[in-house]
Every structure is written in C-alpha cells, then in structure tokens.
C-alpha cells in the first residue's frame, strides 16, 4: 500500500521545480542578451551594448560577460561616474580582476583622481597574466598617473615609460593614434626624468 504524499510536500516540490525552471529560463535569456551586447560592442555600438548588458544583468546579476560588457560600454560612452560605481560593485566577485582594476584606474584618472589611479594601475601591472591588448594602455596610464602623483623622477614612472616604448609595436590591436600618443607621453616622461632618449625602444 502506497502512503499518501502530503499535499504540502507536493506543493513545495512543484514550487521548487517551477523556481528551477524560471531560473533556467532567466539564465538562457541572460546569455542571449549578453551575447547580443558583446556583438553590439564589437560593432562599435556602445549604447545598444549597454542596454542589452543591463537587461542581462537584470536577469542574472552575476553574469560575468554581461557585467564586463556593461563596464566597457560605459567607458566608451565616457560615463565615468557610472562606470566607477559599477566597477566598485563588480570588483569583489568578477573573475576578470585585471580588467576591473584597469577600468577603475582609468575611471579615477578621467575623474581627475590621480592619487587613486596611480596605485590602482600599479596593482594591475603586477597582476598576471596581463592580456597583451591591455599592456600598452596600462603602461601609458601608469606613466601619466605616476607623473601626476609621484613626480617625474620616481623610478616607477621611468619604468612605466620604458615599458610603454618597449611594447608599442608588440600590440597589433593598438590604433595608430593611440600608438603615437603613447609614444609621445612615454618620451615626455623620460625627458622629464632626465633619462637618455637613446634608451627608448622604437
């Protein structure tokens, strides 16, 4: 003889099953929105990328891809205050620690907070592995923020300038204007430090 399954238990099981189904559907929708956000970002459309990434995060608040896409879209739109707040919230859990630290450093720099930018970018440069496509912008920012905070003669500034020049031609994703700006800023830092320009890599 079968025992009667209690109604409460049956209701609980059905409720849990329904919750699991809703969570699975939300996850699938979040993945779709995150993928569409990434595609929009690659197509240089930061506004649609931001909208889709934000939708994805509404469905799945700890969606790593959607979160990073949202941050990069905010950066491309120059919405530094929003970016700073979103990066601060993502920092404790996001797996791309280096990317988050770099965005925090860029945000501080663009908001005129050099004293925050310099140590943040220094932290980034000691994280490994540092992706190649982030290397020159990170070293350039370390040069600029370091000069503003620690002064022209600080060895960290000189090291950052030398690394910027050394790595300039190793990054195929760096645009011509960004490459020239990085070269100019690094050379200016070395001149200010009294370093011989012959030591610069070309």
Name the residue with higher pLDDT: 187 or 125.
187
DSSP labels, the chain: -PPPPPHHHHHHHHHHHHHHHHHHHHHHHHHHHHHHHHHHHHTT-HHHHHHHHHHHHHH-TT-HHHHHHHHHHHHHTT-HHHHHHHHHHHTTT-S-HHHHHHHHHHHHHHTT-HHHHHHHHHHHHHSSSPPHHHHHHHHHHHHHHHHHHH-TT-HHHHHHHHHHHHHGGG-TTS-HHHHHHHHHHHHHHHHHHT--GGG---
Say if residue 132's pLDDT is above 70.
no
Q: What is the mean pLDDT of the chain?
A: 83
Q: Given this model, what pLDDT does residue 73 score?
A: 96
Residue 42 pLDDT exceeds 70:
yes
What pLDDT is recorded for position 65? Answer: 92
Average pLDDT of the segment spanning 159-166: 88
Task: Give the per-residue pLDDT at 22.
Answer: 57
Question: pLDDT-based confidence at 59, cuts 50/70/90?
Answer: confident
Least confident of 11-25, 126-140, 158-172: 11-25
Domains of the chain, first to last = 21-93 (1.25.40.10), 96-202 (1.25.40)
pLDDT for 197 equals 55
Average pLDDT value for residue range 58-82: 93
């Amino acid at each position: 003889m079968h025992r009667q399954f209690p109604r409460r238990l049956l209701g609980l099981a059905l409720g849990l099953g329904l919750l699991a189904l809703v969570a699975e559907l939300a996850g699938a929708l979040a993945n779709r929105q995150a993928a569409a956000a990434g595609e929009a970002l690659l197509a240089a459309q930061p506004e649609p990328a931001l909208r889709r990434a934000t939708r994805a995060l509404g469905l799945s608040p700890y969606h790593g891809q959607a979160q990073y896409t949202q941050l990069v879209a905010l950066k491309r739109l120059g919405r530094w205050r929003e970016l700073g707040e979103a990066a601060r919230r993502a920092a404790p859990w996001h797996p791309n620690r280096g990317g988050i630290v770099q965005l925090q450093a860029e945000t501080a720099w663009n908001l005129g907070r050099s004293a925050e930018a310099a140590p943040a970018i220094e932290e980034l440069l000691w994280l490994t592995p540092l992706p190649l496509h982030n290397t020159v912008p990170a070293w350039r920012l370390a040069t600029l923020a370091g000069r503003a905070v620690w002064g022209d003669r600080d060895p960290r500034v000189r090291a950052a300038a030398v690394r910027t020049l050394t790595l300039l031609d190793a990054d195929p994703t760096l645009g011509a204007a960004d490459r020239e700006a990085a070269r100019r800023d690094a050379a200016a830092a070395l001149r200010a430090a009294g370093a011989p320009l012959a030591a610069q890599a070309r």
